[in-house]
Structure 1
Amino acid sequence: MLHPDARALLDLMVEKRIPPVNELSPVDARAAYRDRRGFTQPDAPAVAESRDWRIDGPHGPIPLRLLRPQGSVPGELLPGLVYLHGGGWTIGDLDTHDVLCRELANLSGAVVVSVDYRLGPEAPFPAAVDDSLAAYEWVRREAASLGIDAQRLAVGGDSAGGNLAAVVCLARRDAGLAPPAFQLLVYPATDQRQQAPSHAALGEGYLLTRDSMDYYRRHYLPDPATWTDWRASPLLHPDLSRLPPALVLTAGYDPLRDEGLAYAQRLTQAGSRSTHLCFERQIHGFITMGRVIAEANDAVWLCAAALRHALQP
């Protein structure tokens, strides 16, 4: 059964007549996503340092935010996580995922660098991929000056960000570059064809709907010919071997559930180490909603514990 916390949130959205994302322009959808976060997200925990800056990317500046965990010692080399936010490659930014990134930093003991990659429709595929790869490479190259141990640098993200994190790992392996030490994939989108059974079974009534997924895909991937490009659909890459260990977290009432499970399964079958964890009673997007969905806090803790374990010296 759907968790009562998730049910109460969905019912409240209906009661308050919150418009679905697909009825808004991208500009208005971004503002609504940013403005509503205070209702569902916990208070932002203090960290030892929060610093914003911009780096040069292949198509222009890329904003980043570095968060050092509370209690860390200045100058200490810590493990790191490059984090790519969710939002269908169309909405979301450094602020919408600031609380989650702070929680992951404090609970894992890692420096988290959040990436504000470019969004569609203004910058369609593969802009987000290019920015994500450039940001990861920059963090790895500058790791020592950032107080990060480059040998203990992971990549992660939720939803669209989980998709991009998986693509970063594949692209670096294919290019013969040093892979991330770990990949944290939170309900990742892995197949833009949207053919998995969970799409049909869960495409209405659980926050992420068939119409909203079409909205996001239309803005990020306006050309259907790109849907089967593995940089858009990492599940379709023919070789998932020799990839970093992965935690793939899914939600039972999420249309993306089955393609996340399929990705974890294919990683394992290819000889790459993966762990799959499904919060059976939850909806897509729940991990940032710890103020109103109690299990979100458990999910964050489990992700941080996996990071801490994977990145230990």
Structure 2
Amino acid sequence: MRKYDEKAIERLQKETSIIDNNGIKVVVKPIPGEDREGYLDPLELDLMEKFWATNVGGEDKAAEPTSKEMMISAIRDSMGFPNYNLNTVEIHTKFEELTFDENKVGLWRYYPRKTEKNKKRPAFVFIHGGGWIGGSVYTVENFCKLLSELADAVVFNIDYSLAPEKPFPNGLNDNYSAVKYVYDNAEAYGIDANKICIGGDSAGGNYTAAVCLKARDLGTPKLAMQVLIYPAVTMADAKVEGYQWSEDFFEMCEEQKHIIKNCIGLGRPIKFEDDMFLQNYISNKEDIYNPYVSPMLAKSHANLPKAILAGAEFDGLRLHTEFYAKQLSDAGVDFTVFRYKGMTHAFIDKLGHVAQAEDLCIEIANAMKNL
């Protein structure tokens, strides 16, 4: 089920433009239903008005939770968005539970039944977002299933440990271990060990970048491609020379400025003491300078897998995304970076509601086919 005309996908695929940002080429995706600059996608705006009115100046917010546990629970309950299954072929779903360093890690996998006998399929390992404290494999399940169909691939979906119950480095180690497990058992899974990709959104993009750094540093597993979807690549106020964050980098129309400003706060440099998500994820303030927490701060980005990076125009993490693309480019890493005009953070959660989520799935699948 789609809430948009399929011609929207055609426009997103065919009417891209290229801009130069800090010396790198950014592929800009148009808004299917809006040509004016600085405007939200009309479908995105409609979703905000219907489902997130309290975030854009609607009804009074409910009373704040009275304990940390209640606050974490409320945040987790608010994450994700009900999306749609767009598959047109039968997708098999399997589940297994793995144990790494006493952590139980769920590993879902999806693949088209019709090509099950092909033992050299490409693979994609997905790491969901959620600010390191929440999110769910179920929110991204439809995205993973569609990717498995479009790329004719086995797609894995990791149910890793969450903070604050399991703070850093638990989640990172869970994800690294799961990716290595897939690599080490490629033959059993019927996949090509030379065509294993890894990707994730938001905090999952952070984990993806960190896992790629760790895999490079340790020499295993060998990864064919990384996909960073609006990733957080630096924490608190940690930064490197040349990186800047400013509202001035966002073009906002006057009539929607009050809405858009509420959408671009992610990634804004703040003190560690003021960052609730980060305080739940890491217990040592100095870890913001650890490249496995802030991949932007890695001493070198050389010899990392080729990359696809995708950012939303009205997402503060877009500045993370495009600066990290610059770092990869400077290190000689092959990359493609997309900017989706009119979109906000977490747009892949809205598969079936907005065409951009499906379009990004198509872009990833096409890249996998060309590995």
> Which TM-score applies when normalising by structure 2?
0.75
Deviation at 1:295, TM superposition (A): 2.1
Measure the CA separation in 2 of the matches of 1:300 and 1:75.
Answer: 22
Give, as a single letter, the amino acid of the residue that structure 1 aligns with 2:44: A
What SS is found at the alignment partner of 1:246?
strand
1:227-238 correspondence to structure 2 within 5 Å: 227-238=288-299
Give, as a single letter, the amino acid of the residue that structure 1 aligns with 2:179: Y
Shift of the 276–17 alpha-carbon distance from structure 1 to 2, 3 Å rule, reads: same
Give, as a single letter, the amino acid of the residue that structure 1 aligns with 2:289: T
1:167-182 correspondence to structure 2 within 5 Å: 167-182=210-225
What SS is found at the alignment partner of 1:291?
coil
Give, as a single letter, the amino acid of the residue that structure 2 aligns with 1:289: K
What SS is found at the alignment partner of 2:143?
helix
- Corresponding residue for residue 219 of structure 1: 280
Q: Is the 1:198–1:254 contact (alpha carbons within 8 Å) kept by the matching residues of 2? A: no
Shift of the 274–198 alpha-carbon distance from structure 1 to 2, 3 Å rule, reads: farther
Q: Choose which of 253, 278, 301 in structure 2 pairs with 1:240.
A: 301
Asked if residue 197 in structure 1 is aligned to residue 245 in structure 2, the reply is: yes
Deviation at 1:296, TM superposition (A): 2.0
1:134-213 correspondence to structure 2 within 5 Å: 134-194=177-237, 196-198=244-246, 204-206=261-263, 209=266
Q: Is the 1:159–1:188 contact (alpha carbons within 8 Å) kept by the matching residues of 2? A: yes
Give, as a single letter, the amino acid of the residue that structure 2 aligns with 1:3: D
Asked if residue 4 in structure 1 is aligned to residue 42 in structure 2, the reply is: yes
What SS is found at the alignment partner of 1:263?
helix
Measure the CA separation in 2 of the matches of 1:70 and 1:301.
Answer: 20
Asked if residue 123 in structure 1 is aligned to residue 180 in structure 2, the reply is: no
Shift of the 269–309 alpha-carbon distance from structure 1 to 2, 3 Å rule, reads: same
More displaced stretch, 188-197 vs 273-282:
188-197
- Corresponding residue for residue 96 of structure 1: 139
Deviation at 1:47, TM superposition (A): 4.0
Measure the CA separation in 2 of the matches of 1:101 and 1:117.
Answer: 16
Give, as a single letter, the amino acid of the residue that structure 1 aligns with 2:245: P
Give, as a single letter, the amino acid of the residue that structure 2 aligns with 1:197: W
Q: Is the 1:83–1:112 contact (alpha carbons within 8 Å) kept by the matching residues of 2? A: yes
Measure the CA separation in 1 of the matches of 2:41 and 2:338.
Answer: 16
- Corresponding residue for residue 71 of structure 1: 114
Q: Is the 1:163–1:190 contact (alpha carbons within 8 Å) kept by the matching residues of 2? A: yes
Deviation at 1:221, TM superposition (A): 2.4
Which has the larger Rg? 2
Q: Is the 2:119–2:187 contact (alpha carbons within 8 Å) kept by the matching residues of 1? A: no
Q: Is the 1:10–1:207 contact (alpha carbons within 8 Å) kept by the matching residues of 2? A: no
- Corresponding residue for residue 33 of structure 1: 79
More displaced stretch, 126-135 vs 2-11:
2-11
- Corresponding residue for residue 284 of structure 1: 345
Superposed CA deviations along residues 61-99 of structure 1, whole A, max 9, x for unmatched, are 210101113532335321111110111111112212111
Measure the CA separation in 1 of the matches of 2:178 and 2:60.
Answer: 34
**What value does the CA root-mean-square deviation take over the aligned residues?**
2.5
Q: Which runs of 5+ in 1 are unaligned?
A: none
- Corresponding residue for residue 105 of structure 1: 148
> Which TM-score applies when normalising by structure 1?
0.88
Deviation at 1:193, TM superposition (A): 2.8
Give, as a single letter, the amino acid of the residue that structure 1 aligns with 2:281: Y
Q: Which runs of 5+ in 2 are unaligned?
A: 1-38, 251-259
Give, as a single letter, the amino acid of the residue that structure 2 aligns with 1:5: L
Measure the CA separation in 2 of the matches of 1:114 and 1:199.
Answer: 34
Give, as a single letter, the amino acid of the residue that structure 2 aligns with 1:163: N
